[in-house]
Amino acid sequence: MSRRKICVVTTSRAEYGLLRNLIDCIRADARLRLQLIVSGTHLAQEFGFTVREIEADGVKIDRRIDIGLTGSSGLANVESVGRGLGKFAEVLSELRPDLMVLLGDRFELLAPAIAALMLRIPIAHVHGGERSEGALDEAVRHAITKMSSLHFAATEVYRRRIIQMGESPATVFAFGAPGLDQIYHSRLLTRSQLERELGFSVKDPVALVTFHPATRDAGSIAIQVRRLIAAVKASGLRAIFTMANADAQGAVINHHLKAACAAHPERFKWFPHLGHLRYLSCLQHLTVMVGNSSSGLIEAPSFRMPVVNIGDRQRGRIRAANVIDVPCSRAEILRGIQRAASPHFRASLRRMRNPYDRFHDGRTSERIKNVLRDVKISSDFLKKRFHDLPNKPNSIFC
């Protein structure tokens, strides 16, 4: 019996970490054959050339698609998507997978999604149904949902929202966030090991700062990042700063963060790429996360780590009690940091549960893999019918 070909596309360091366990599950199943396409910032030197991390994991890469992703401007990103569309169409025509897996809402994923749609290759989408109203990701995520035939939502609320968009309930599953599996299956670094890896002491209170462009915000990103840096300075905390993603104006953020670290090497350190193990270990051992990354809402709750979430980038996402939402002003960010780092607030999180970890057993990726393996792919699989909701006046479907 021929093995079902599952093509996984990865375009960024963060998304690869979330897909890592699913990739392993597919590789381990004798009835499946993994096809891995690597693209986006993985192949860009300015973003750490993180394809080397995949190679170090011993995962066979079937194709590399360089779309020239720089994140220097909105126009440059549009050109990257256009360049990628033709290249993904060519590669998918060669590989002919039975299913293609896409995770999340990065704009460059539009290229493989459109190519697969036109080539009649079913798409399985992970992390649909979520809201992030301050970023272009919101529109990209929902567009990929409508192009997909299978959906793996991180919570029941998100599952219901996908159904609200007209998708058949039989095709929508709420198993949790697959990236959380690594917390169960990885041996995280001890505090002393992390310090050696980072070359930076984490004994005193240390903040993890991860800040990305809010791509629907008309405000100046330079002003925003200067307010963030000023608040972290005023807090007295030492800090580890990570690189912004490839969204337009990400380069502006990186310029200011690197300059702040160079000016205060005794307090701040810049890391273009931590890698998933070091990143999760930072969540385990550091004091507070500051910024606007989705990891503050999805991964950080598993470590009961306080998070100061800045601005509107994550507006609409489900959050646990660890998240303190603040506007992007120096005073409000500073107040948020002080509250997050206080013993009282940290103690209040002791019984908190992560809303994205549905079964609390580290087997989300396995459940997704089983559906990918067992779902019946018939001639009608791509013929989606719009699922209408019951007409109930004065009711709200969440």
3-class DSSP state of 38: strand
Does residue 392 have a pLDDT over 90? no
Q: For 363-379, what is each residue's pLDDT tens digit?
A: 999 999 999 999 999 88
Task: Write down how long the chain is.
Answer: 398
What average pLDDT does range 176-200 have in this prediction? 96
Q: Is the model more confident about 49 or about 65? A: 65
Is residue 214 predicted with pLDDT exceeding 80? no
Please state the separation of Cα 188 from the chain's center in Å: 20
Closest CA to 378 of 112, 113, 96, 122: 122
What pLDDT does residue 398 have? 45
The alpha carbon of residue 83 and the mean position of all alpha carbons in its chain are separated, in whole angstroms, by 23
- pLDDT of 387 > 80? The answer is yes
Checking if the pLDDT of 397 tops 60, the result is no
CB 204 within 8 A of CB 183: no
DSSP string, 40-92: GGGG-GGGT-THHHHHHTTPPP-EEE------S-HHHHHHHHHHHHHHHHHHH
Predicted confidence at residue 304, as pLDDT, reads 97
Q: Which residue type does 114 have?
A: I
| The pair of three-digit structure tokens given for residue 60, joined into one six-digit string | 């066979």
Nearest 10 degrees: Cα torsion 251, 253, 258, 259: 110
More confident site: 247 or 113? 113
**Helix axes 13-28 and 276-285, enclosed angle (nearest 10):** 110
Per DSSP, the three-state class of 249 is coil
Is a pLDDT exceeding 80 seen at residue 394? no
Reported as a single tens digit per residue, the pLDDT across 102-136 is 999 999 999 999 999 999 999 999 999 998 877 78
- Residue 219 scores a pLDDT above 70: no
Provide the whole-model pTM. 0.92
Q: Can you give the pLDDT at residue 393? A: 57
CA 198/CA 190 separation, integer angstroms: 12
pLDDT band at 217 (very low <50, low <70, confident <90, very high): low
**Nearest to 368, CA basis, from 150, 142, 164:** 150
Q: Give residues with Cβ within 8 angstroms of 131, minimum separation 6.
A: 138, 315, 316, 317
pLDDT at 137 exceeding the cut of 90: no
Residue type, 9: V
Lowest mean pLDDT among 4-18, 129-143, 255-269: 129-143
User: Which strands form 63-65's sheet, in the order they lie side by side?
Assistant: 63-65, 32-39, 4-10, 99-103, 123-126, 150-153, 172-174
pLDDT in tens, 44-54: 988 888 999 99
- Amino acid (1-letter code) at residue 50: T
Instruction: Give percent above pLDDT 90 in the chain.
Output: 82
- DSSP letters along 207-238, please? EEEE----TT--S-HHHHHHHHHHHHHHHT-E
Token reading at 86: 């033709």
pLDDT of residue 129: 96
* CA atoms of 152 and 137, how far apart (whole Å): 17
Give pLDDT, residue 251: 87
Query: What separation in angstroms does the CA of 343 have from each of 284, 287, 319, 326?
Result: 16, 10, 21, 19
All structural domains of the chain, each given as residue ranges with its CATH number in brackets, are: 4-175+363-374 (3.40.50.2000), 189-347 (3.40.50.2000)
Lowest average pLDDT, out of 40-44, 46-50, 90-94, 318-322, goes to 46-50
Average of per-residue pLDDT across 250-263: 94
Q: Is the pLDDT of residue 74 over 90?
A: no
Q: CB of 270 within 8 A of CB of 261?
A: yes
Average pLDDT of the residues of the chain: 93
Per-residue pLDDT of 281-312, as tens digits, reads 999 999 999 999 999 999 999 999 999 999 99
**What is the Cα–Cα distance from 281 to 150, expressed in whole angstroms?**
32
